[in-house]
Copies of this chain bind each other. A is one copy, B any other.
């Protein structure tokens, strides 16, 4: 184990050791194009480190790995019936379009190391003949007919993803022969939104909700032009499957607005750096751009001059960035301008921008995060949870094909626990993207270990129309894909907390394959990042990291806001507890605790009626006090403190118990991390140790404040006599 310079940028999940298996072999890269060049350069770098060889043609040592483009793409064969093979896959993993399927065994036998080390044409023909179907622009197949591992892709991006699959497999890629395994992404677009500002915002700083230092793109009003850093970022994203990045904050301030026009070169530079990794660049724009940039008197979406302005502006964007991804828009939300100012609706607004993008294949990501942020807390009939559905569901069918309505996973705002947004089930005629938050705004701000893949996995597997029906993942896969707010900054560890890298990795992997188990993704990540194979005690390392991370999101849930009620955070920065912090504010985020009980009545019978926004069975399940899952009880119901949960505990005793338990779990995490001293890089160990101390302090604050608050309000003592303050 070497000790890197602490000022170096941490390699995250692509350290040199992760390339050992690839880099110590003889590889042939077959095909042409910039992304194939990327593949070649990656292998070349690995070989320089680990002693293997790589060539694109000609003689050399016997080839052990072939990465090859297929020359032609065959049409999909409807009679091909792939079957699931990968262990641990859920039963419905084999449905068409599922990311990994195995073609019929046998055909791969034809793959033959010919004069170039492998008979690519034969493999290609055989893949087609065997019913593998077209691999698609990003798909690939891995086959090992004998002593050679072959990766085939129809398109360059697929070959790049194939390379990273082989990297992930490590030595396992060179084991016993196996038939072709085809991998295709579930989501066409797997996107990260950066909430980076160009100027340092007086309140939000360089990166809004950024907990990892400054922006990797801008610093204090100027482009950073740290090309190596942006390239390294592109590499990391490609290795976990992300293929789109929106470069700037959805809250578009004055300086940032100009990225669309006179500062477009800065966006083009980023696009140039990310393009070799298969990543398209998107841009957050302000709906008021025709006014603030174009000098027009209006931004009315039905105004002809406004339409012309967007058309000309978009044309200029594509002249600079031919593969530009499109616009991201937060409109009529938290003070951002939007179509409401002109008496138009969000379909009018989104379609305005979509029109000019369409000829170029660009899309509009139009956020559904629209609500009244100046709500009167006294008015219990208004319910922020209802807002997105109220605004958007009636517009279903009115959006152009290249509009993607981007819906936060829950009806509120990236809480540790919320129900799935009812919008996801309400717009069958609209392409929806589901938005996650990798940056840990409400989940510990990268001071706390909080591995979010279990939460995302739960959300993606949720079936809005009931078990056996389509899942959230299916809706996203059929629509606009998966989007998340990035957790990356210019911190040497990328994400502040080194273990928060796992969230970024897991987001990409779950967007590629939402059926991956969170524990399996964690294994991938830790195998790459920590190379346990080279560790002094690989079993301890792996077991301990699982103990620390697998359940960390549930631990965080235990010591923070209880039973799905959400918030209870310090206003503004959202870190640490403040039970009444949002209780009397205009933000629509209340718990209504009084001396008798707590929770928000969102039922149709007696509350805000929010439960009626769900289709059955959830409209009934959530409406019913008896049926509502414990973990969402206070999101849907106002109950007395002595209400008995399904768990058998009362609400107030549950609050006390979970808060004591959550802190005990953090204490265990601290102890466990100590065991890893000497087993992980000392700079990583030191950084995590430091953050764990803060996590423990903060978790104790959460425990004591939440318990004291409910004790003072309810008067109920702890059944176990623990101090409640």
Contact = CB atoms under 8 A, between A and B. Distances in A.
Contacts of A77: none
Contact of A713 (B577, B581, B594, B701): B594
A397 interface: no
Given A595-B713, A714-B595, A704 B579 contact: no
A570 B581 CA distance: 9
A660 to B, nearest CB: 15
A725 B580 contact: no
A584 B578 contact: yes
Interface string A647-679: 000000000000000000000000000000000
A593 interface: yes
Nearest to A379: B725
A715 interface: yes
A599 B594 CA distance: 19
A101 to B, nearest CB: 54
Nearest to A594: B712
Contact of A712 (B579, B595, B705, B723): B595
Contacts of A579: 580, 584
Interface string A564-592: 00000011000001111100100000000
Given A705-B584, A725-B378, A712 B578 contact: no
Interface in A594-616: 594-596
A483 to B, nearest CB: 32
Q: Is the interface of A mostly helix, strand, loop or mixed?
A: loop
A378 B704 contact: yes
A714 B709 CA distance: 14
A712 B584 contact: no
A708 interface: yes
A571 B576 CA distance: 14
Nearest to A714: B595
Interface string A75-86: 000000000000
Interface in A448-474: none
Contact of A577 (B578, B584, B701, B723): B584
A568 to B, nearest CB: 11
| Max count, chain B CB within 10 A of own CB: residue among A378, A584, A704, A714 | A584
B596 A715 contact: yes
Nearest to A584: B705
A723 B379 CA distance: 12
A114 B593 CA distance: 83
A687 to B, nearest CB: 24
Interface string A377-402: 11000000000000000000000000
Given A378-B725, A580-B579, A594 B715 contact: yes
Most B-side CB within 10 Å, residue of A377, A571, A594, A701 = A594
A332 B709 CA distance: 32
A580 to B, nearest CB: 4
Given A377-B725, A584-B704, A595-B712, 12 more contacts: A378-B704, A378-B725, A570-B571, A577-B584, A578-B584, A581-B581, A584-B701, A584-B709, A593-B712, A594-B715, A595-B714, A713-B713
